[in-house]
Amino acid sequence: MKRQHIDKGVQSGFLLVALFSITALSLIMVFLFMEGLPILEHVNIKEFIFGKYWYPTDDPADFGILALIAGSVCVTLLSGLMAIPLGIMTAVYLAEIASPRVAEIVKPIVELMASLPSVVIGFFGMVVVAPFIQKLFNIPVGLNMFNASLMLAFMSIPTICSLSEDAIFSVPRALKEASFALGATHFETIVKVIIPASLSGICTAVILGLSRALGETMVVLMAAGGAAMMPTSIFDPVRPLPASIAAEMAEAPFRSEHYHALFAIGIVLFVFTFIFNLIADYISYKFRQVGEASL
Amino acid sequence: MESKVKMHTRDLDFFYGDFQALYNISIKFIENQVTALIGPSGCGKSTYLRCLNRMNDLIPGIWVKGEAMLDQKDIYDPSIDVVTLRRRVGMVFQKPNPFPKSIFENIAYGLKVNGVKDRGKITQRVEKSLKQAAIWDEVKDRLNESALSLSGGQQQRLCIARALAVEPDVLLMDEPASALDPIATQKIEELIKTLSSRLTIIIVTHNMQQAARVSDRTAFFYMGKLIEINDTDTLFTKPGLKQTEDYITGRFG
């Protein structure tokens, strides 16, 4: 009798804790929508999303976030362009090619990169990379889309690499052996068997890496340049969504239009990362490894 | 009987690091015969089999001593191309391991990695090897379906077809039927008999009836040593050593 009571107690305890965190998260979401949606009383949703001008403090103010969205999307894509190949190739190297001893040393280093605080990376971009690319490419400002993308790539490579590495490592040995037994070289085996078999894990890794880049605030605040303009080249300064919120929230009067507009940006950002996570879930479901054989 | 030695090893030793797994194994494999390797678990018969196509090379820290020859050429000679060796010495594994690709692609894979590009030729060879593996009738209408949709027995015959597609001279089979039901097993055994008319087959098995049914010669392994090898009939009816007799009559192992 007593044992059942303890069991019940433990169950309710866990339920309570789980409910607490879920409720807190939901309330944050409710708050986000409550504070963000009122902006639609001032501008309609089309003007808000597709408006090119973001002058929140002018009179009359312009609340068009297309330039901010473009900044976010460009910075994320450009960083993906650098981080995806590097991350995946490093993962392949670690899981397949490197000797166990080398992998043992390199893997923790890659994971260590993930633990660098973003403000340090942003600072590095600001004081080291900016003057460097300014000189190298002979451009007026070093804080721009390219710089921010480079720094974001640094941040997403560890995520992409270590998750892909896990996926590649978990490809059944039997598949690898089957390929070798047919006279395939190691390279052919990697490209035609191992990567396809771990594709779902690799895709999830890429999307999680990119969603980290998309939501990252400190790096883009410090290194992207902060100009709310439509970018025309990769050396233009941009102002991604999170950077705008971080930079302006302190100055926006409580419950003003500007304040609501910033929360609405938060909603847009939330929708973006939510979609990213949905895609990641879908892909890992669709291409999931069924196993070496189902008997 | 006209008999040509297709493959042989002489005094083959094999080590996993400091652990010696095989001692002085000398066996001759006659062309177009089936040789069965029997023995209790851990006796080294699978390790020996995997020496013959250098599959053990994938494991770090192994080394091999002694002689292993295919058509009088040392397969451990540094000048030997392992990729070519593995194309000539095919392998079928214990558990069916089709690639998570279509049935067609599973068979075409070996051809593609061996440089066959002509689409027509690939299609032709896919059909031929599926027929050889006696699975063509079951899969001919669903070649583009995933190989994982097949049953276990079908998957294993698909794996045999996949090995046959690259036209090996020797086929190594590592307990090919141990994960299958009796009917699927029977099909695989029939297949082995048919294939032995033009292929040298070396099969590792736990099942002594199976060895008796399919093989021409049988080798008995114990604790990394070759205890006895003889014609299958002789080995099972008049074993030369007490140890062999005890094993085949089920007194140990």
Instruction: Classify residue B109: in a domain, yes or no.
Output: no
Instruction: Classify residue B233: in a domain, yes or no.
Output: yes
Interface mutation vs chain A, best among B85, B99, B114, B157, most A CBs within 10 Å = B99
What is the predicted pLDDT for the residue at A288?
65
Q: How many structural domains are present in chain A?
A: 2
Residue A169 to chain B, least CA–CA distance (Å) = 15
Instruction: Classify residue B118: in a domain, yes or no.
Output: no
d(CA A94, CA A99): 8
pLDDT tens for each residue of B105-140:
999 999 999 989 999 999 999 999 999 898 999 999
DSSP B65: E
Cis peptide before A60 (omega within 30 of 0): yes
Same domain, residue pair A24 and A168: no
d(CA A8, CA A190): 51
CATH code for the domain in which residue B39 is found:
3.40.50.300
Cβ separation B97–A174 shorter than 8 A: yes
Cβ separation A183–B155 shorter than 8 A: no
d(CA A89, CA A83): 10
Instruction: Classify residue B217: in a domain, yes or no.
Output: yes
pLDDT tens for each residue of A165-178:
999 999 999 999 99
Element (H, E) at B49: helix B45-51
What is the predicted pLDDT for the residue at A295?
35
Instruction: Classify residue B132: in a domain, yes or no.
Output: no
What is the predicted pLDDT for the residue at A82?
96
d(CA B49, CA B37): 9
| Structural domain span for residue A186 | 50-286
Instruction: Classify residue B202: in a domain, yes or no.
Output: yes
d(CA A77, CA A238): 13
Residues of chain A with pLDDT under 50: 291-295
What is the predicted pLDDT for the residue at B179?
81
Instruction: Classify residue A291: in a domain, yes or no.
Output: no
Cβ atoms of B195 and B170 closer than 8 Å: no
Q: With 0-12 CB in 10 A as exposed, 13-18 as middle and 19+ as buried, what is B3?
A: exposed
**What's CA B175's distance to the chain center, in Å?**
8
What is the predicted pLDDT for the residue at A85?
96
What is the predicted pLDDT for the residue at B251?
75
pTM: 0.83
How many residues appear in chain B? 253
Q: What percent of chain B has pLDDT over 90?
A: 76
Cβ atoms of B205 and B211 closer than 8 Å: yes
d(CA A225, CA A240): 10
Closest CA to B158 of B116, B120, B182, B187: B187
Cβ separation B97–A178 shorter than 8 A: yes
**Whole-Å CA distances, B112 to A154, A180, B107, B116, B126:** 38, 13, 9, 5, 11
What is the predicted pLDDT for the residue at B50?
94
What is the predicted pLDDT for the residue at A291?
46
Cβ atoms of B92 and B176 closer than 8 Å: yes
ipTM, 2 dp: 0.91
Cβ separation B83–A100 shorter than 8 A: no
Nearest CB among A99, A183, A196 relative to B83 is that of A183
Element (H, E) at B9: strand B5-16
CATH code for the domain in which residue A106 is found:
1.10.3720.10
Same domain, residue pair A54 and A36: no
Nearest CB among A180, A182, A294 relative to B162 is that of A182
Same domain, residue pair A28 and A136: no
Q: What percent of chain B has pLDDT over 70?
A: 98
pLDDT at B47 over 60: yes
Cβ separation B86–A178 shorter than 8 A: no
Q: How many structural domains are present in chain B?
A: 1
User: Look-up: residue for tokens 């993906």?
Assistant: A80
Confidence of residue B253 (pLDDT cuts 50, 70, 90): low
Residue B183 to chain A, least CA–CA distance (Å) = 14
Interface mutation vs chain B, best among A96, A101, A182, most B CBs within 10 Å = A182
d(CA B185, CA B177): 5
Same domain, residue pair A136 and A189: yes
Instruction: Classify residue B121: in a domain, yes or no.
Output: no
| Structural domain span for residue B38 | 5-100+169-248
User: Look-up: residue for tokens 């302006």?
Assistant: A248
Same domain, residue pair A36 and A155: no
Tokens of B106: 């599973």
Instruction: Classify residue B50: in a domain, yes or no.
Output: yes
Cβ atoms of B184 and B19 closer than 8 Å: no
Neighbours of A292 (CB within 10 A): 22
Cβ atoms of B222 and B41 closer than 8 Å: no
Cβ separation A183–B114 shorter than 8 A: yes
pLDDT at B90 over 70: yes
Phi/psi at A262 (5° precision): -65, -40
